[in-house]
A = this chain, B = another copy of it.
Amino acid sequence: MKKTVRICMIGAGRVGKNHSRAITRHIAGARIVAVVESVAQVREETAHEFGIENQFDSLGAALGKVDFEAVVITTPTPTHLPITALAAENKKHVFLEKPMALNLLECDAINEVTSKNSVLLQLGFMRRFDPEFVAAAQRIEAGEIGQPMMIKSNTHGPGLPPPWARDLRTSNGMLAEVNSHDWDTTRWLMGSNYERVYTEVANFKGAANNVDTPNFYDNVLVNIKFESGGLGLISGVCPCGYGYDARAEIIGEKGIMQIGELKGQAVVVCTNRDQGLITPIFRTWPERFEWAYINELEHFVTCIQNDTQPRAGGMDGRWAVAGVLAGTKSFLEERPVRLKEITGD
């Protein structure tokens, strides 16, 4: 049996709870030995729910008090660099939620500090571990649909993001906080980097939701030209109300592939022929990607046990941030933006 990996969970909000549940219930090889969270009530609830013995209000407070090999960072984006740096300098492996950071300088710093300290860095792109997306990627790689020509990827989420995550002054907005996965998925499945992006946004529900931050949008469509010559589309709607909707469609030279569907559980009911059939929809991201979360965390644990590099790493995180920055610049300046304007390459 491999040695149990001891984990310090940093952040105990929705994502922190989700990951704590996955680790506690489904990953025999890992144990959460401490939870770090600045809000006392949230921290205590999470510790109690998942039987975590040690609680701290900062990573600094935990270091030296409890032994652990790794951290799982689920706090807001602006905190990613300082927490990662502290963890890495203390030789802790890092599982870091998306988006990686606010800008490329921070991404570079994160990559450098983890590399310099020889700790592993895995980004929370769980779609790379979803059984359906994984099977699809393998089949594309095997040439089943030929050279990819066009990809469409969407993430439509039911509720309004929190204030910091929808304000361009404190985050990169919905394109980053909701659609990071689409940036990563399109690049991964197309097997090519973005060359140019053009973005249109719309604000339909801001007023009704009392959102008056500048440049707020709740609908976005990004048109992508890849270096391979292929085309891409990212679509975001948040809040969409109707469910958690994450699907992708790829057209290759030989055919089409659809990944995911609106439908949730296969329980179909009809009690009124004027209404029609009713089928559950995926309501939330923890439902839709339950196995993906278990698998990505198990992958992280296994990489630590075997000292191998994780599949979703720092350069993937950096590319997603670069896409977000280009996409944002595009709608602010109402023009297509080349990635090299962002990366300076």
A225 to B273, CA, bound (A): 28
Q: Does A262 lie within 8 Å of B277, measured CB to CB?
A: yes
Residues of B within 8 A of A200 (CB): 196, 198, 223-225, 231
Q: Does B257 lie within 8 Å of A233, measured CB to CB?
A: no
If the complex has contacts A202-B150, A281-B273, are A251 and B240 also in contact, measured as CB distance less than 8 A? Answer: yes
- Give per-residue flags for A263-274: 1 if the beta carbon is below 8 A from chain B beta carbons, else 0: 111111111111
A267 to B268, CA, bound (A): 16
Q: Does B243 lie within 8 Å of A273, measured CB to CB?
A: yes
Counted per complex, copies of this chain come to 4
Q: Does A277 lie within 8 Å of B274, measured CB to CB?
A: no
The size of the chain A interface, using a CB distance under 8 A, is: 84
A196 to B336, CA, bound (A): 13
The residue in chain B whose Cβ has the minimal distance to the Cβ of A268 is B258
Q: Does A108 contact B (CB under 8 A)?
A: no
The residue in chain B whose Cβ has the minimal distance to the Cβ of A133 is B267
Q: Does A188 contact B (CB under 8 A)?
A: no
Q: Which of B158, B221, B256, B258 contacts A231 (CB 8 A)?
A: B221
A255 to B271, CA, bound (A): 4
Q: Does A141 contact B (CB under 8 A)?
A: no
- Give per-residue flags for A125-144: 1 if the beta carbon is below 8 A from chain B beta carbons, else 0: 00000011001100100001
Residues of B within 8 A of A225 (CB): 200, 202
The residue in chain B whose Cβ has the minimal distance to the Cβ of A274 is B283
A232 to B240, CA, bound (A): 16
If the complex has contacts A135-B267, A256-B269, A279-B279, are A202 and B229 also in contact, measured as CB distance less than 8 A? Answer: yes
Given A256-B269, A273-B283, A276-B278; 17 other pairs, CB 8 A cutoff = A25-B27, A26-B28, A149-B202, A150-B237, A198-B198, A202-B229, A202-B230, A204-B229, A204-B230, A204-B253, A205-B253, A240-B251, A242-B255, A243-B270, A254-B271, A255-B271, A276-B279
Chain A residues near B (Cβ < 8 Å): 1, 24-28, 51, 131-132, 135-136, 139, 144-147, 149-150, 152, 156, 158, 196, 198-205, 218-221, 223-225, 229-233, 235, 237, 240-245, 251, 253-281, 283, 334-336
